[in-house]
Amino acid sequence: MSRPAFSLDRILNTSAAWALGLLWILPLAYAVWTAIHPAAFEARFVLTAPLTLENFVKAWQAAPFARYFLNTFLLVTMILACQFFLGTLAAYAFARFRFPGRSVLFALVLLQLLVMPDILIVENYKTMRMLDLVDTIPAIALPYIASGFGIFLLRQTFMTVPKELDEAARVEGASFMGILWKVYIPLAKPTYLAYGLVSVSHHWNNFLWPLIVTNSVETRPVTVGLSIFSAIDSGIEWSVINAATLMTSGPLLIAFLLFQRQFVQSFMRAGIK
Amino acid sequence: MLKSTLLKAVAATALSFSTWASAQAVDLQFYFPVAVGGKAAETIQGLTDAYAKAHPDVNIDAVYAGSYQDTVAKAITASRGGNPPQLSVILSTDMFTLIDEDLIIPFDDYLTSDEDKKWIAGFYPAFMENSQTGGKTYGIPFQRSTPVLYWNKEAFKEAGLDPEKAPATWDEMVEYGKKLVKKDASGNVTQWGVRIPSSGFPYWLFQGLAIENGVTLANAEGNKTNFDDPKVVEALQYLVDLSTKDKVMAPGIIEWGATPKAFFEGQTAMMWTSTGNLTNVRDNAPFDFGVGMLPKKMQRGAPTGGGNFYLFKGASDEQTKAAVEFVKWITAPEQSAKWTMATGYVAPRPETWETDTMKKYAEGFPQVLVARDQLEFAKAELSTYQNQRVVKIFNDALAAAITGKETPEAALKAAQAQADAILAEYR
């Protein structure tokens, strides 16, 4: 390999990465631009345009966002905690125990990955109604807590844990639960982190199911608040919409920037591609 | 098995509690969509609160349900799930779909006295076209609109046109448009003559052109369309020619959402859009603007649009009665005037326009009267059985012609054949 070829390769790589990066950041940059300038500058880029926070104030006042944020926070926490609990136990069983019907059951779990959640909306609604949970936060969460994807992912990770570690712990007299707690879970941390990110961002952004199953301000998440800005009959105020969008996705963006290194690494280690 | 037994037990307990609670007062649940900015949701909430205060025997729960599409999805899901609302505002064009799905009941059974019949007759006939079928009334007009032509008076003055006069005919609109087009030194257009948005639901404004040319797009029974009528073809040719031959409108698909903005910024001197925009234009246009009826070919004409109240199946007799009373109250002049002033929707009853509040409002802002006066010439919005599918076929045909992929005639012929295939079973 000759040196010039190598550097040409490098230049190409770097410039392509920059180009893609710019393309990716453009919508976000536009959102920031419109959100902090008066509406008159939505489509005009004047560097000296006056800055304003008025759009955020307007957006904040258009819906009870404080309550919505609390609801979304409760919702994603509840879903994630239940998913971890159920997923860990199920994955442990599938990975390390032999019992009749194991492969059939596992195939059923995998089947869940093939079913679009949207086509189950009516059935889920009926179930929630029978449980008398319509218009509650648990009703938004329940259909998602037994996650086939989570079980699958954790099972694959648990399978990669060397049997020797398991056996050594057992020789030391650890119980099954003890082994799970002390051996498997610590080794699967990157998977938990990666899966947690996917789950939180997915449920943070979920719109249709929460809208359908809830009716009141006390139970609705931020996405429902956001939808109030899509007023097609009267023209779209981009500056206010973008302010609201930044506001609602802000916590996720900030969390991602803070934990960026861990997330990227955990994705690489967990092997999600 | 175990799951269903458990669920039933829980449900039975829950049911016994809820019947106990509803013995105290009538509970009403009412879904509403929001399709205009500003204070629409707050206004509805305020009105229902006022009603509940005056009627302690009714508990009314107004539920914001997203866009029109979200609302109909929510109402259908809740009905299928055994928990229908008693009342919902849904697009007037969804009437056939809701009947087909067997989810709604007509108002007639609850409107039997002579006074009630007079009340029904008190709505503008143009709005009732989308609300009645087979001799029964399924919808009561509430947030209804119609498209109008907005023009920039300063641009008219600059082009040497009379700033107080909107184009009255198709030919005049082209003629004015040609005078209004402005180009910069390199030949790029900086100001178009007119803007008729065509993204998303092009059929709506196009319907205006079709009606003006003396043809309706579908029959009143909702089971036959006239997409390939020569007059429809001619109307589409006119629309296509605006950008290809006459060059008074930007070519290609034109965005709805960006249209008011383009008008404010002077990128177009005239625009066609909903009266739902009136308040927005009044607050944001940096110039004097006029509002006119859509120009005519054989006649004036425009479609109506927007949402009606529907009564849902599954409510008790008591609940439905209370729901009808509420609908009567909220469409009464005083309430209706508040709603119209907050949103720009057209008040659906002539008597509302006779109130002092509305008279005063119209005096300071005479543009609001144009939409009302245009109702005389307005026709039902395109609505058929299997509405979503039929309208999509039509929209795709319009888009194909507007973007130049097909000739208007070929596109509309194909659309008619597809619509016939779907609607045949409803004849």
My answer on whether B172 and B281 are in the same domain is yes
Q: Do A122 and B274 touch (CB under 8 A)?
A: no
Which residue, chain included where needed, has tokens 């500003």? Answer: B38
Contacts of A126 in chain B (CB under 8 A): 80-82
CB B312 within 8 A of CB B221: no
Which residue bears the tokens 């809820």?
B18
pLDDT tens digit sequence for B336-363:
999 988 888 899 999 999 999 999 999 9
pLDDT on residue A4: 57
- What is the pLDDT at residue A224? 87
Q: Tell whether A77 lies on the interface with B, counting CB pairs under 8 A.
A: no
The CA-to-CA distance between both ends of chain A, in Å, stands at: 30
Residues 195-224 of A with CB under 8 A from B: 208, 211-212, 215-216, 224
* Chain A nearest C-alpha distance from B416 (Å): 28
Q: Tell me which chain B residue has its CA closest to the CA of residue A227.
A: B66
Average pLDDT over chain B, rounded to whole? 89
The answer to whether A130 faces chain B, any CB pair under 8 Å, is yes
Instruction: State how many domains chain B has.
Output: 2
Looking at the structure, tell me whether residues B259 and B128 fall in a common domain. Answer: no
Q: Is B182 domain-assigned?
A: yes
pLDDT at B163: 94
Measure CA B346 to chain center.
10
Q: Which residues of B touch A237 (CB under 8 A)?
A: 37
Amino acid at B274: S
Question: What is residue A93's predicted lDDT score, i.e. its pLDDT?
Answer: 94
% of chain B with per-residue pLDDT over 70? 94
**pLDDT digit of tens for each residue in chain A (273 aa)?**
445 556 888 899 999 999 999 999 998 888 888 888 887 777 677 777 788 888 898 888 888 899 999 999 999 999 999 999 999 999 999 998 999 999 999 999 999 888 887 888 999 999 999 999 999 999 999 999 999 999 999 999 999 988 888 899 989 888 989 999 999 999 998 889 889 988 999 999 999 999 999 998 899 999 988 887 776 666 667 888 889 889 988 888 888 888 777 777 766 665 544
Within 8 A of B41 by CB-CB distance, chain A residues are 228
Average pLDDT over residues B293-300: 94
Nearest CB to A233; choose among B7, B145, B284: B145
Decide if pLDDT at B132 tops 80: yes
* B70:A211 CB<8 A: yes
Distance from the B135 Cα atom to the nearest Cα atom in chain A, whole angstroms = 31
User: Measured between CB atoms, does A42 come within 8 Å of chain B?
Assistant: yes
Give per-residue pLDDT as tens, B57-97.
999 999 989 888 889 999 999 999 999 999 999 999 999 99
pTM for the structure as a whole? 0.83
Domain that holds residue B212: 147-304+381-426
Q: Cβ A122–B34 below 8 Å, yes or no?
A: no
pLDDT tens profile B256-281: 888 888 999 899 999 999 888 888 88
Per the model's pLDDT, the better-predicted residue between A229 and B328 turns out to be: B328
Residue B160 lies in a domain: yes
Which domains, and CATH codes, for chain A? 63-236 (1.10.3720.10)
With beta carbons less than 8 A apart as the criterion, state whether B22 and B315 touch. no
Residue B339 to residue B330: CA distance in whole angstroms: 9
Given a cut of 50, is residue B292 above it in pLDDT? Answer: yes
Question: Which residues on A lie below 8 Å from B66 (Cβ)?
Answer: 211, 224, 227
ipTM here: 0.80
Q: Residues B277, B313: one domain?
A: no
Q: Closest approach of chain B CAs to the CA of A271, in angstroms?
A: 37
* Residue B388: pLDDT over 90: no
Concatenated DSSP letters of B96-121? HHHHHTT-EE-SGGG--SHHHHHHHH
Same domain flag for B259 and B154: yes
What pLDDT shows up at residue A138? Answer: 95
According to the model, what pLDDT value does residue B8 have? 54
Do both B329 and B347 map to the same domain? yes
Interface test with B, best of A46, A61, A130 (most B CBs within 10 A): A130
User: Is B288 contained in some domain?
Assistant: yes
CA angle at A268 for the pair A264 and A271, rounded to the nearest 5°: 135
Helix (H) or strand (E) holding B191: strand B189-195
Q: Which of B117, B255, B247, B134 is nearest to B180 (CA)?
A: B247
B356, B279: one domain:
no
pLDDT of residue A152: 94
**Predicted pLDDT of residue B238:** 96
User: Is the residue at B376 inside a domain?
Assistant: no
**Which residue, among A233, A237, A238, would best test binding to B if mutated, counting the most B CBs under 10 Å from its CB?**
A233
A236 touches B: beta carbon within 8 Å: yes
User: B155 and B47, same structural domain?
Assistant: no
Is residue B171 assigned to a domain? yes
Q: Is A120 on the interface with B (CB under 8 A)?
A: no
How far from B286 is each of A42, A234, B192, B260, B341, CA to CA, in Å?
15, 17, 18, 12, 21
**CATH number of the domain encompassing residue B244:** 3.40.190.10
Nearest 5°: phi and psi at B87?
Answer: -150, 140
How far off is chain B from A158, nearest CA to CA, in Å? 30
The pLDDT of residue A271 is 53
Question: Under a CB-based contact definition with an 8 Å cutoff, are residues A237 and A229 in contact?
Answer: yes
Same-domain check for residues B157 and B206: yes
B375 lies in some domain: no
Q: What is the pLDDT of residues B200-239, one digit of tens each?
A: 889 999 999 999 999 999 998 889 999 999 999 999 999 9
Task: Collect all residues of chain A within an 8 Å Cβ-Cβ radius of residue B344.
Answer: 234
- On whether both B226 and B315 belong to a single domain, the answer is no
Q: Which residues of A touch B65 (CB under 8 A)?
A: 211
Q: Considering only the beta carbons, identify the residue of B11, B35, B145 that sits closest to A132.
A: B11
Asked if B235 and B157 sit in the same domain, the reply is yes
Asked if the structure places residue B337 within a domain, the reply is: yes
- pLDDT tens digits, B14-45: 444 444 444 468 899 999 998 766 577 888 88
Kindly state whether residues B37 and B182 are assigned to the same domain.
Answer: no
The 10 Å CB-count burial string (b at 16+, else e) for B212-241 is bbebbbbeeebbbbbbbbebbbbbbbbbbe
- Residue B319 CA to residue B303 CA, distance in Å, equals 33
Q: What is the pLDDT of residues B183-203, one digit of tens each?
A: 998 889 999 999 999 988 899
Are B358 and B310 part of one and the same domain?
A: yes
